[in-house]
Each structure stands twice: as C-alpha cells, then as structure tokens.
Structure 1
Amino acid sequence: MNQVITDGLVLMPPAFSEGLGVWSRGDGTPGSDTWATAPNAALVPADPDFGDCLEILKTDSVTQLRYMGQTPILPGTYLRITARVKVLSGNLPTMRVAAWAGDAAEAAVTGIPLTGSEQTFTAYGEILTASAIVGSGTRGGVDMPWGDAPDYGHFGLDFTGPNSGQIRIESLKVEDVTSVFHRKMMDWVDVRDFGALGDGVTDDRAAFFAADAAAAGREVLVPAGAFLISGNLTMRNPVRFEGKLVMPDGARLALNQNFDLNGYAEAFGDDVLGLKKGLQQLFNQSDFEAFDLCGRRVLLDAPIDVQGVVGNKNTYANRRVIRNGQLSAEDSSAWNDEVHSRSANWVNTDATTLTGVANAGDIPVGALVQGPQGVGREVYVTGVNAAQEKVYLSSPLWGAPAQQSYTFTRFKYLLDFSGFLNLQRFVVSDIEFLCAGRCSALMLPRDGLVFQVQDCFFTGPKDRGITSCDEGCQGMQIDRCQFLSNEQTARVQDRVSIAFNTNSSDVKIRDNRAVKFLHFAVMGGTGNIVTGNHFFQGDNETDGVRSPGIVITGTNSKMTFTGNYVDNCYIEWGNEHDPNPDMVGEYSFHGLTVNSNIFFATGAAPWMKFIVIKPYGADHYINGLSVCDNLFKKTGGAALEAVEGVDDSIAPLDTGRATDLLFTGNTFHGIVKRTENPVIRRHTEAAPASVWEIDLSDVLPFGMQAMSALSVLPEGAVRSVANVAIYTMPYATTRHGVGRQTIRLNWSQDLKGTVNLTARCDS
C-alpha cells in the first residue's frame, strides 16, 4: 500500500534550493524562525556529492531543522524520513531525524517518541544518511510509533554534540513505506497500525474500532499477542486472528463476517470460551439467526449454563439456532450429581408445592424429585422460595403422605437452558451430545414455546437425554434424532436413563430412534403427536422383563401414536401426575389413538403386554381408545398371553363402563389372545340347548365386560331336538360368567347349530 499513489498524498518537502523560508530553526510550527534569515546558513549550488544543498554552521547545543509544512500522518501508514549529510570542517557533531507532532487542533501531542536513533560523524567528507520511520503502530523497524493521536508532523533533523562544525545537507525526503510492513497489497489492515499493543494490559478496543472502520471490506489482522478489549466490540469486516482477545465475561464480541465457532475459537484461543462468547452474541444481535459449530468437537469439563453465559436477559422470543458440531464431556467432578434430602409437607389442594422445606434455597431448580410414596416419574423442581421454605414442582404428586422425606437430585447437562424463565423458538440442530456416561445432554428452559431438537445424536447420557423441568416443552418438536443409551449391557430392570420427558402439551415426536433406555419417553400434557419412531429396550435375558417405552402420565391424553416401531417395550398409560387420582367428574382414560404401528418382542416373558393401563385411583374407565391396524408379534420363547392388559397394583380399572373403545384390524403373530372390539364370534352349539353361553374372555380387551350384542346371524339352519329347522330368533343377555365377559343367547326351545355373534365391550 502506498497512499502517495492511492490517495494522492503530498509528503515530499520542497528542495532547499526553492527557498529556505519554509525551513524552521525551531520545532517547525508557524511563527518559528527560519533558516532564510540565519547568518550561519547558505544555499550551495553544485556540490559534487549532493548537487544543490544547504550548508549550515552549528552554533547551538541542539541545532534544529524542521519543514514547516504539515506532513499528514494517517492510521495504518508508515513514513520514512531520510537525508544525506557530510561535515566539511570543524568539530564533528551527532545527528538524528527529529519531529514535532500535532493533533487536529494543532496542539502538540506529548508522550510519544519524537527522535530517531543518533549517528556520530568520524571523518570529514564522510557521507552519512539520517533515517527514521514514523507510523501509528508499534512494530519492528518503526523508530517513532505515534498511535492514532497525531494528525500531522513537522519533520527534519537535529544536530547535537560540539559546535562549530561546517555541515552540508542534501534535500530531505519523506516517503510512504507502508508496504514494507504489509505482507499483501491492500487486502488487510493490522490493528497495530491503529495503536493496538497486544500486551494484555492496555485497552486496545479503540484501535480495533479504528482498524475495522479503515478496513472497508478488507480483512483485519490481529497479530500475535493478547489484546485486552474492555467492553463490547463489533467487527464488521473479516478478522484473522493470530493473537487472542481478552474480554470481561459480560463484554460481547460481534464478528459479523466470522460468526461461527471457527471465528470465536480463534478470537479467544479456546474452543469452550469461543462457544460461550458465540452463544452470548447469538442472543444479543439481529444479524444472524444461527451459530454454527463448523463440525467441530468442543470438549467440556463443566456444564454450559446458557442463560448465565448470555447474562443480560432471561427471556427471549426470536428464533435462534445452534447447529453442526459435537459437545463432548471430559472427565471432571463438575458432572457429579448434586443431591439433597429434605423432609417436606404436601397437600393435594396445593399439589405442586412442598412446604416446610428446611434450607430450601440450597435445592437447585431442575432437580429431580423422588420420594417413598406418591411421587410420579419425572417430577422436577421449578422454583424455590427460601424465605417461605417452599419448593415448587413441575407436576403434582398423586398420593404422597402429609409429610415424608424427599430426595432432590440435580443432574448436570452439557447444555443447560433452565436459567431462562421463557425461551421461544430455539433450535438445536445437527449436534452430537457425547455424554460418555458422565452427564446428561440437554435441559430445556423453564417456560417457552416450540423448542426444536432436530437431527441430533444423544450418545451415552448418564441420566437423561432431554429434560423438561417445567413448561419449556410446550409445542416442542423432536425430529430425526438418535438416542443411544449408556446402559447397553444392563438388564432392563437395572436401567435408570430416560431419553426425554415432557410436561406440557402439543409436542411432536417424529422419526427418532432410541436404544436401550429404561424409557424412551415420559409424557405429560395433551395434544401430542408421536409418529415414525423406533425405540428398542430389550436385553439378552431369557423371559426378560420389559419396561415401558412410552409412559403417558395423564388420563386425558389426546394423543396420536402412529407408525412407530415399539421394540421390546410397551405403552404404559396411567395418571401418576394426578393429585386426586380417584376418578371424579373427569374424562378418565380418554383420547388415545394407537394405529398402524409395529409392536415386536423377542425373548420377553410371556406375561409382557404391549399396551398397559395403570390407574392410580379408583373408578377409572376407558373413555376413548383406538387400537387399529397394528402388527403385534412375538418371537423367541413362549407366545405372549395378550397384547393388552391392566396393571391393577394400585387400583383396578372399571371394566363395565368403557366408551368408544375400538380394537380392530390388528395382526397377531406369537400371541395367544387375539384381542378385538367389536368382536365377531362364530359359535357352534353341538347339543340342543335353550341357553347358549358364548365366552368372549379370550378376545375382549383389558378384561372389559361383554356389554352388548349387536347382531346374531345363524350360519345355516338352527335345528330342534327333532332336527327340524327353527326360524325364531333368540334374545341376548350380557355380562355373565367370570369377569362378566359372557353373552347368553336365549332361545324359545332347545336348539343346536352355528351362529355369528357381533358384540362389544363398550357403549
């Protein structure tokens, strides 16, 4: 770069032969005496070495020569001042390039070097060249680094040492030598050229702003060093980091042309700090919707508290994305669970609050709550009131005593968003969470809407893949993710990890795959869609225990479960988050559609069921359930006894009150009971009888009662004892026999034959 050429700058002073009225005997400022009237100066024509030149007799201890014109000093430029000098007679002096620096107000700038190195003459007629370089940056070869304060200079020479020397001086030269300091021509600027020191102590923020302003689309170079930036910094041009930045935690860095992990990791010389600073800026700008990890693996030795990193806000509603990389847990005690035990009081009229909790302030938000009685799965701490000794819960308890001891376990997560009180439309995409059995993966914000997790891998979480500790899962979407358990070799009954949980409504779980967790999902809320997923939870045990793949925690489900592959696990539908678990004026088990799925098991115990209803209180019934067009298949070992059943370990299901229960169109392999409703039963009575007992216990679902006979159609003639065809029809009575699952056909006389009966167990 040469700004004499590019910007038309005039740097070269006039030759001495053009007149000495512009050459000062002082500092060069207006009003100083000139050499034009000095008795000890003269112009010499045709010197054999210099041609036209200036001859002076040194008479002052410091004899000064300054050009009175204002030579501009621009940020990023470097000027070289030179003059050839010889001594004819008298004492031999010392010489140096010297200057006076002025700012925009034409005031002297102090505190900067104003002279170059000295040279001493050793012989008469010896020609020495006085030379010095002045510029804004502290760089090798720069004699007078001036920073960005001076706007111009008066340049010339100083002669020191003994007086009476007769000196001749060739005309002074001022040249732009900026290109000497630039490795490329005009494609970058160096922050040192604008006064940055990179000593880790001096605040270089202003120099970075100046360099960015001057770059005008070119790259800004940050050379080796530690550059302290005291506050927020925005760089609008591309930045190349050879050194690193040092910034306070609360100071934000905007790299508008390097907004990705590559840029931020280079800026701070550290992947983790780069990730944190990138996330901080992601929530504090409008230019970019995503922070890209560039496929890099970031090694974490502690959780990232995302809200703590952002710092200046705990709510956010604009769409933001973090994508494309790996987060890997390093061995560290920072991943250890935080566990507290406390005695607490509970009443079902305030079912999401524990009271009388000593030192409640010690219990962290997001801790899992467990207790000896009445605590459902995936209940978390949503907040605490230390002054009132209260702990608030994500879901109600269902049957806890008035007082008992609780355990609060805070898992640690690679990415923890629980510090956000409300976060909407955040997306985690193409991230692999490498937990290595040391930690959990992702904690959602406490509240929010449409948190999206897509195309991610959750590999080896110690406890949880994704945790919702409150309402931050409202409308959540989990799409095309892989959940790979850290318990691959453990028996089903020994596993503790869960792929994810939800508390709120309108969740979409689509096209995911999960392997060998205790549960794939524990789901609360209503209006959920679960489709296209494959979750496998088997082991190598003979007649092995199987755990629920999907746990539905509320009776009013309003869920579609379609096109899934339920592999060596089952659906469990209960009401463990109901503070009043007995059925009182509510929908009861309602609104679940289980259609077009594959249910498969191998090596499982024959009493395993694929769909299990588990009431946590009395008088519950089925009030809307569709199980249609599914494949139920068992291989390896004895056939399954049935595909559906009731877990009545806490309370029975009311089998005489079912409504809208559809169980039809399914395919069964390796299953003893071929469950149906409505059921079409072909019944043959070989010996004449007036009452035909038709037992439907081997087909009716969930032990339901035979509530109605819809039609009876004889197949061929129904004949009397005399083998005469009888044309009268029977009447049916229902709910007979063990379990009230038998229908009676009552004829007018003893008859024999075959009929096709259509019956239902619901109304």
Structure 2
Amino acid sequence: MNKAITDGVLLMPPVFSNGLDMWSSGNGTPGSDTYEGAPNAALVPADQDFGGCLELQKVNSVQKLRYKGETPLLPGCYLRIRARIKAIAGTLPSVRIAGWAGGAGGTHINDKVEVGPTVTLATYGDVVEVAAIVGPGARGGVDMAWGSQAIYGHFGLDLTGANGGVVRIDDIEIEDVTRFFLRDMISIVDVRDYGAIGDGLTDDSAAFIAADADAQGRKILVPGGVFFLGDDVTLNAPVAFEGTVTMPVDKMLLLTKSFDLPTYIDAFDDEELAFGKAFQALLNNADHDSLDMCGRKVTVTRPLDMQAVVPNKTSYATRRVIRNGQFDAASGPAWDTEVVTSEATYSANDARTLTEVVNIANIAVGALVEGNGVGREIYVRSKNVDAGELTLSAPLYDAQGTQNYTFSDFKYMMDFSGFAGLSKFVLSDVEFQCGRYASGIRLSPTGKAFHLRDCFISRPKDRGVTSIGTGCQGILVDRCQFLSSEDSEDVPDRTSVALNVNANDAKLRNNRSTRFKHFALLGGSNSVVLGNHFFQGDGTNAGVRTAGLVIADNYCNATITGNYIDNCTIEWTNERDPEPDFVSGFSFAAMCITDNIMLCGNVAPWFSFVVVKPHGSGHFLNGVTISGNRFHSINGNIDRVERVDTSFSDLNFSLTKNLTFDANAFHGIDKQAANPLRIRHAAASVAQSWTVGVDGDLPFGGRVLSVDSIVAHGPILNAGSGVHFVTPYVRSEQGALGDQATLIWPTAVRGEVSLIARMDR
C-alpha cells in the first residue's frame, strides 16, 4: 500500500533544485528561517554521486534542515524518511533524520521522539544513507511513534557534532512503508519469517514451532506452498492456511486455537486425510472435548479406520465428541464385502470360541459369522492366528462339532474395531450418507457408553451400527434416524439391520427406523427401548413380516415403552444360549412391554406383534407385563397379537409365573387375550361338574393354572329350580391342553357365573 498512489496524497518533498525557500533551518513551521540566500547553503547542480544536491556547512550545534511543507500523517500509515549524505571538507559531523510533530491548529505535539538513529560520517566522499520511520504506533522498527494526535510533520535531518564541516545532501525522500507493518497490524505471524521453506521436502517443523512461540496471541499464517512437517507440531496460536502441510501418519498437528474440521481441511487439502488428522488431534489434545465439523461434508472413498489414524492409542476412555457434519460414501471397490468360507469346530463348553479354523489369516476381525446353529448378528471379536482360534461376540445355540462357516466382512464408513477399547465416545448431529455402498459404524470390541445422538444413518448397504463385542455396554442411541436402502424390497428379501447390541444397559430412545430386516437386536439385559418409531411393511398382500426388535436374551430385564411399532414384531428368543434347554434360572423373565402403538396392515393372518421363540425345551414365562398397548390391524384381521414360535420348542405353560396381560386395546384382532382373563359361563342344564374353557383367550395359548374368583349372575338353581346357596371348588389345567377349568358343585345345578382365570401362579 502506498498513500501517494492509492489516496492521492503527496508525500515526497520538492527537490532542492526547485529552490531553498521551502527548506527551513528551524523546525519548518510557518515563519521559520529558510536556506534561501543563506551563506552556508548552496545548490550544486551536478555532483558525481547525487546529480543536483544541497551543499551545507555546519555552523550551529544542531544544524537543522526541515521541509516547510506539511507532510500528512494518516491513521494507520507509516512513513520512511531517507537521505543520502557525504562529507566534503572540514570536521566530520554526525547526521540523523529528524522532524517536528504537528497537531490540529498548528500545535506542537510534545513529548514525542522527533529524531531517528544517529550516524557518524567517517570518511570524506563516502555516501551514507540515513533513514527513520515515523507512524502512529510503537511497532518494532518505528523510530518516531507519534500516536494519533499528530496529523502532519515537518521532516528533514540534523547535523550534530563539531561545527565547520561541509556536507552534500541528496534530495530527501519520504515514502509510505505501511506495508512493512501490515502483518503486525492484522496480528499475523508468517512461518516463512522463521525459516519455513514450503517446498514439500524440507522439514519445516522447527519453523512452525518457532512462529508459534513468537506469535504472542497473533494469528499464524501458512502462506502458499507445501510445508513438510516431519515431527509433531502444536500450534497454540490461531492459524490460517493458504498453503498446505504434509506429515507422516504417526506425527500430529495439534491446532489448539483453531480446532475444527474446516481448518484441518485447509491444512491438508484432502477431506479424508484432514478428518483423520483432526481425529488424531482430538484424542491427543486435552484442550478440546469435541471436534466440530462446522457443517462440512466429507466425501469418503474407503472405510475410515479410526484407530489406524491414531497409532499411539490402542484404547481410549476420555469423553470425546464428533459433531455437526456429514460423511458421504463415494462408490468404489473399497466398499466390497469380503466373504471367506472356512471350516471350524465349535463346542458349547467354550461357547464363544471357534477352534481349528482353516484359513484364519484371511478372516477379518468384525466379520459376521453365519452357519448352522448360529444366531443372528454374531461377529468375530478377535482372532489368534497361531492358535487357529476365533473369539465370537456371543455363543452359538446349536453348532456342536465341525462345519463350514461363512464370514462376511462388511465395510463401514467409520470403523472403531481397531481399538481394543473405546469408552464415552459421542457422535452428535452427524449424518452418514452410506449411499448403498457402505455400512455405517462399527464399534470397538470393548468399551462403555458409546453415544449416538441426533444422527442420520442413511441407506446403509448392510448394517447401520454394529457391535462386534462389548463396545456397546451402556450404549445410548437418542433421536437418530436409520433410513434403509431396502425400502423397495419385499420383507423376505431384506438383509440389512439398523443396529445390534451384545452387552447390557442399552438405551434406544426416540429414534426412527425405516424398512430394515430388523431395527435392533439386543443381546444384553437391562435395556430401555423408549419412544421409537420403527416400521417394516411392504406392498405385498397378506405379506410376511420380520422382527423389528429382537430380544436375544431370555432373562432380559427389558422395558419397551411408548414406541410406535409398525408392521413388525417384538421377537424374544434365547438363540444365543449354548445349552438352550432350561435347567435352572428364571427362563424367559423380566419383560415389560407397555403403552406402545402397534399397527399392521396387509399381513398374513398368523402375524403377531409379540413372538416368543424358545430354542430349547422346558422354558416358561416369568415376570412378564404386556399392558396398555394399542393393537390395530388394518386391511384384514389377524388371529392374535401374541404367539409362541415353536420352530424349535414350545413353552412349558405349567410353570408360568407373574404374567400380566391387560388393559390393552384390540382392533382387527380375532383373539383378544388377557391375563387375568374374565370368562362368563352359562350352564343351561343341571350338572354337578361344569367345564369352562378359555377358547384360546389366555396369552400365548397358556394353561388355566388357577381361578381367582367365581361370581354368580342370578340364582344357581338345582333340578327342582330351587335356589342353591353354595359355591363350587375348582380343578385347573383340565383338558388335553390344560386350557380348561372344572367347577365342582355339591349337587347338580344350572345357572350363569363369571370367573377370573389365570395362566400364571
């Protein structure tokens, strides 16, 4: 910036050859003496060094030379005054640039430094340049800091020292040098000033560190170029990148005052690489708990191995957050599922291990395991190649012996499986646009309290969120959307799963899931499923439906409340029990399904909303509450809302305990089950024994284990139509299915009664 050009301001004094009446021997103020006609001053028209110049003899203790014109001082403007001078004869004087600070109304601004550095002339004929800078601020290199009150100056030079010397002075120059201070004025520190080269080869780490140490709160500028950083670099000052940096995978760039994804993208000029480096910094920087993506979209061309980008961390347990951004999967072969078929041996005595695994080196940790007797959502948690053993995420229910297994390694946009453990990690307001190319998130083998909130997992190819071990312990999934890539597929053709959980204490709250094969498989206990909407219908008439929610732990201690469950079932199973026959314990216990909206339409009549599927004999219901739900079937009735899937085994209804099935609403349901069940029975002819059947109205086709009460409706009459004032006793579990009760009267009677039958003890 040059004021003489940009603002039309005249800074340069006239040349001496124009006359000496504009050059003062005083301060340059109006009325001060000039050198016009002075005996100690003369114009030299043709000096060999200067051309035209002023020859001046020193006759005063301080021989002043000042331009009488008022050189303006504009706000934020810095001026450099320069003069070239040489000694001709006599005593050698000293010389310095000098001025007079003028304020409004021609007042003198006192208490300001009005002289520059002094230079002593040492040799006759040698040309010496003297200079000084004047401006409003006391910046480095400013010789005369005059503040904001000085609005003009009279500038020139002083000769000091002994009198008598003769000097020649070239025309004095005044120029705008604000550009020298522009960086300081906008608080910028340029890494090039500290030795950075920016050729992509030279290690500029030390220069970056030195610039940061000198920044003192100013912003660091990384100008155009490619700067190689061969070591860890921490910048505690704000930073702006015009150029880019490159560094080894194991070296970190910690931007403590500019910690957000856009700055890292500016730094590395590669979205995927920048995100990895920012995540690396997040796990190695105590100053920030979160990485703000600032709404940026990162195009992902391959699975993001989250541990590989942080090679100095194999586990992490401090709360960290990634928030406010989007990941978009780009098509390519990196997302192709790797499928390996290998022979292996399984024993229920070592329920989570496959041994003698053939081709184990090619089986990936995190791969889905499929085979005879393998439940849903079983994954490889770890492997020991030397021992030929795979550790599984859960036991198998019926795979004793040796067989071929299929291992499918899905590819995830964000893969944490390389960590041994990861706890208290949060993804907030992040969208995963899987595009049918990739799956969403794979969790670490161990960890606690992974939190997914206000996120979208859109169109995953295979899986939304996958737990391959216990990295889902205490998982929190809140207000998220799981949008299937299989909307157009009929239900039997769907294969994708929104999420699975293996460990305890899962919380799924206020989520929405569309048309997956399953919304969630919960393999642990103490789960809370609250306020979710998951739906899985299709356009097929009398179509089949899959489980929206799979509870894969018979003693589940689960609460399923306030959900909108649309065209799918709640399936409760023990398919992860290596010895599925009941021997001891609580069996299918501690389930609470309350206050849900359950809707279906165009389904096969045998569809049911709640299905219990035991994988072994002897199991029973124990401590189950299904209450306050609204069951509704449209476009055709269904038989009942609850049933037992007897593909493997039935329940033992003679052991049912503490089952409450009441206060539900039924619309379009043929059998409206309840327990306790109110039955009204009329005997038109006298009999001593009345058989009362429940006609399938007890839940799950249960047995009549007890009758709580019997109330007569009107008189109980004997054969002579006399009123009979006695009550019967009851025999329960009558009939071939045990679903009848027999009322035994002291004598043959007729009449009508209501009774309360129960299928539990």
Scaled by the length of structure 2, what TM-score is found? 0.78
2:83–2:129 Cα contact (<8 Å) kept: yes
Residue identity opposite 2:340 in structure 1: H
Distance 2:185 2:655 in 1: 86
Question: Which residue, 665, 675, 678 being the options, matches 1:677?
Answer: 675
Query: Residue 264 of structure 1 corresponds to which residue in structure 2?
Result: 264
1:554–1:574 Cα contact (<8 Å) kept: yes
Distance 2:262 2:501 in 1: 34
CA-based RMSD: 3.0
Query: Residue 356 of structure 1 corresponds to which residue in structure 2?
Result: 356
Distance 2:723 2:307 in 1: 83
Report how far residue 418 of structure 1 moved: 0.7
2:296–2:326 Cα contact (<8 Å) kept: yes
1:179–1:185 Cα contact (<8 Å) kept: no
Pair 1:49-2:53 in alignment: yes
Q: Deviations over 1:440-480 (max 9, x none)?
A: 00011110110100000010001110000000000110000
Query: Residue 220 of structure 1 corresponds to which residue in structure 2?
Result: 220
Distance 1:215 1:310 in 2: 28
Pair 1:553-2:552 in alignment: yes
Q: Deviations over 1:635-674 (max 9, x none)?
A: 112x110111111111121121101111111111100111
Query: Residue 491 of structure 2 corresponds to which residue in structure 1?
Result: 492
Pair 1:660-2:658 in alignment: yes
5+ residue gaps, structure 2, are: 2-47, 59-77, 89-125, 132-166
Distance 1:519 1:47 in 2: 94
**More displaced stretch, 695-704 vs 170-179:** 170-179
1:82–1:129 Cα contact (<8 Å) kept: no
1:174–1:280 Cα change, 3 Å? farther
Report how far residue 588 of structure 1 moved: 0.7
Distance 2:252 2:81 in 1: 41
1:129–1:437 Cα change, 3 Å? farther
Report how far residue 171 of structure 1 moved: 12
Pair 1:694-2:692 in alignment: yes
Query: Residue 111 of structure 2 corresponds to which residue in structure 1?
Result: none
Describe how 1:36-75 pairs up with structure 2 within 5 A: 49=53, 51=55
Superposition misfits of 4+ residues, deviation over 3 angstroms = 50-54, 78-88, 127-132, 167-178, 180-184
1:205–1:228 Cα contact (<8 Å) kept: yes
Residue identity opposite 2:556 in structure 1: S
Q: Alignment partner of 1:726: what SS?
A: coil
Query: Residue 275 of structure 2 corresponds to which residue in structure 1?
Result: 275
Distance 1:409 1:298 in 2: 27
Distance 1:408 1:79 in 2: 76
Query: Residue 104 of structure 1 corresponds to which residue in structure 2?
Result: none
Residue identity opposite 2:647 in structure 1: S
Distance 2:534 2:408 in 1: 26
Residue identity opposite 1:665 in structure 2: A
Pair 1:632-2:631 in alignment: yes
Distance 1:413 1:52 in 2: 84
Report how far residue 47 of structure 1 moved: 11
Residue-pair matches, total: 626
Pair 1:464-2:458 in alignment: no
Distance 2:649 2:285 in 1: 55
Report how far residue 684 of structure 1 moved: 1.5
Distance 1:270 1:720 in 2: 94
Distance 2:659 2:423 in 1: 38
Query: Residue 365 of structure 2 corresponds to which residue in structure 1?
Result: 365
2:52–2:170 Cα contact (<8 Å) kept: no
Query: Residue 344 of structure 2 corresponds to which residue in structure 1?
Result: 344
Report how far residue 202 of structure 1 moved: 1.7
Q: Deviations over 1:104-163 (max 9, x none)?
A: xxxxxxxxxxxxxxxxxxxxxxx999999xxxxxxxxxxxxxxxxxxxxxxxxxxxxxxx
1:174–1:393 Cα change, 3 Å? farther
Distance 1:689 1:358 in 2: 72
Pair 1:323-2:323 in alignment: yes
Report how far residue 81 of structure 1 moved: 12
Distance 2:57 2:642 in 1: 111
Report how far residue 738 of structure 1 moved: 3.8
Distance 1:130 1:341 in 2: 85
Residue identity opposite 1:586 in structure 2: G
Residue identity opposite 2:322 in structure 1: I
Query: Residue 288 of structure 1 corresponds to which residue in structure 2?
Result: 288
Distance 1:368 1:85 in 2: 87
Distance 1:184 1:434 in 2: 44
Pair 1:586-2:585 in alignment: yes
Report how far residue 86 of structure 1 moved: 9.8
Pair 1:378-2:377 in alignment: yes
Describe how 1:642-661 pairs up with structure 2 within 5 A: 642-661=640-659
Report how far residue 85 of structure 1 moved: 8.2
1:231–1:252 Cα contact (<8 Å) kept: yes
Q: Alignment partner of 2:580: what SS?
A: coil
Describe how 1:106-125 pairs up with structure 2 within 5 A: none
Query: Residue 562 of structure 1 corresponds to which residue in structure 2?
Result: 561
Report how far residue 238 of structure 1 moved: 1.4
Report how far residue 721 of structure 1 moved: 2.5
Q: Deviations over 1:533-587 (max 9, x none)?
A: 1100101110110000111111111111111111100111111111101101121
1:53–1:169 Cα contact (<8 Å) kept: no
Query: Residue 11 of structure 1 corresponds to which residue in structure 2?
Result: none
Residue identity opposite 1:228 in structure 2: F
1:52–1:310 Cα change, 3 Å? farther
Report how far residue 525 of structure 1 moved: 1.0
Residue identity opposite 2:438 in structure 1: C
Distance 1:245 1:177 in 2: 32
Q: Alignment partner of 1:182: what SS?
A: helix
2:53–2:168 Cα contact (<8 Å) kept: no
Report how far residue 83 of structure 1 moved: 7.0
Residue identity opposite 1:370 in structure 2: E
1:692–1:745 Cα contact (<8 Å) kept: yes
1:572–1:613 Cα contact (<8 Å) kept: yes
Describe how 1:403-418 pairs up with structure 2 within 5 A: 403-418=402-417
Residue identity opposite 2:575 in structure 1: E
Q: Alignment partner of 2:322: what SS?
A: strand
Q: Alignment partner of 1:264: what SS?
A: helix
5+ residue gaps, structure 1, are: 2-43, 55-77, 89-126, 133-166
Pair 1:188-2:188 in alignment: yes
Query: Residue 537 of structure 1 corresponds to which residue in structure 2?
Result: 536
Residue identity opposite 2:555 in structure 1: N
1:131–1:383 Cα change, 3 Å? farther
1:718–1:752 Cα contact (<8 Å) kept: yes
Residue identity opposite 2:738 in structure 1: R
Scaled by the length of structure 1, what TM-score is found? 0.78
Q: Alignment partner of 1:739: what SS?
A: coil
Distance 2:562 2:355 in 1: 44
Report how far residue 229 of structure 1 moved: 1.2
Describe how 1:384-533 pairs up with structure 2 within 5 A: 384-533=383-532
Q: Alignment partner of 2:671: what SS?
A: coil
2:367–2:408 Cα contact (<8 Å) kept: yes
Distance 1:168 1:241 in 2: 50
Query: Residue 639 of structure 2 corresponds to which residue in structure 1?
Result: 641
Distance 1:411 1:49 in 2: 85
Residue identity opposite 1:418 in structure 2: S
2:296–2:325 Cα contact (<8 Å) kept: yes
2:282–2:289 Cα contact (<8 Å) kept: yes
Distance 1:297 1:47 in 2: 66
Report how far residue 82 of structure 1 moved: 7.5
Residue identity opposite 1:454 in structure 2: R
2:53–2:171 Cα contact (<8 Å) kept: no
2:564–2:597 Cα contact (<8 Å) kept: yes
